[in-house]
């Protein structure tokens, strides 16, 4: 799906992790410079004709260009992303905050809201992870804990809005989870009992309870 840009990045002369953020000529800058701020705000440029002259018109080619050809993200984009997090997302979850304790009440609550069958909850505790990023998949994989000061400085400088957005998202998520847990605690006993006594596994088959 990257139209060869990953290989272009890997083979770029003098390519390095720090250089991806600080060298304005390296490809795939969209992914390295406030990516989530752009995406959540919706400014991926795919609807801007002037940015689609190169490539297939989808805007994807523009997104993968070097930083010196990429429209910089601004605080306006950040405020746009913050606003959309609070108005366009029913629930914001932070993968790093996932725990067994959270899963035990959140999963059945979401199953109920979405109409998914409760029997799917059986035996899945072992699948709960705090970060789903595959580990040790390549000798080139970067670990945050081992970044040099120079690398961390470059990463931080290139993603100042994403960092602020992440902190904001944690607050949004915490508030949403508090409300959802309060709602679920008032209803879970009656909901679960009704489901167990009135629904069969066969009724859920293929239609997800619809």
| Nearest one of 40, 12, 17, 13 to 150, comparing CA atoms | 17
Cβ(3)–Cβ(64) below 8 Å? yes
The pLDDT-based confidence of 206 (bands split at 50, 70, 90) is very low
pTM of the model: 0.76
- The 10s digit of each residue's pLDDT in 173-201 is 999 999 999 988 888 777 766 655 555 54
Q: State the pLDDT at residue 7.
A: 79
Which residues of 16-160 form beta strands (DSSP E)?
none
Greater pLDDT, 104 or 117: 104
Q: What is the Cβ-side half-sphere exposure of residue 204, based on CA atoms within 13 angstroms?
A: 16
Mean pLDDT confidence for 22-27: 88
- The 10s digit of each residue's pLDDT in 25-63 is 888 888 899 999 988 998 655 555 455 555 555 555 666
* Domain spans in the chain, listed from the N-terminal domain onward: 5-204
């Amino acid at each position: 799906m990257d139209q060869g840009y990953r290989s272009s990045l890997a083979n770029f002369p003098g390519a390095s992790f720090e250089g991806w953020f600080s060298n304005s000529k390296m490809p795939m800058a969209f992914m390295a410079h406030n990516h989530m701020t752009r995406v959540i705000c919706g400014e991926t440029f795919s609807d801007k004709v002037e940015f689609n002259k190169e490539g297939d018109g989808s805007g994807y080619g523009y997104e993968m260009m070097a930083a010196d050809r990429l429209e910089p993200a601004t605080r306006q984009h950040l405020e746009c992303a913050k606003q959309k997090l609070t108005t366009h997302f029913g629930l914001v979850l932070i993968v790093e905050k996932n725990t067994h304790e959270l899963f035990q009440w959140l999963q059945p609550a979401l199953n109920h809201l979405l109409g998914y069958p409760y029997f799917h909850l059986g035996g899945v505790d072992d699948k709960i992870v705090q970060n789903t990023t595959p580990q040790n998949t390549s000798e080139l994989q970067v670990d945050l804990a081992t970044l040099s000061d120079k690398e961390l400085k470059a990463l931080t400088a290139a993603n100042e809005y994403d960092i602020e957005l992440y902190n904001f998202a944690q607050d949004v998520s915490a508030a949403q989870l508090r409300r959802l847990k309060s709602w679920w605690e008032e209803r879970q006993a009656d909901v679960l009992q009704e489901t167990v006594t009135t629904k069969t596994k066969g009724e859920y088959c293929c239609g997800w309870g619809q």
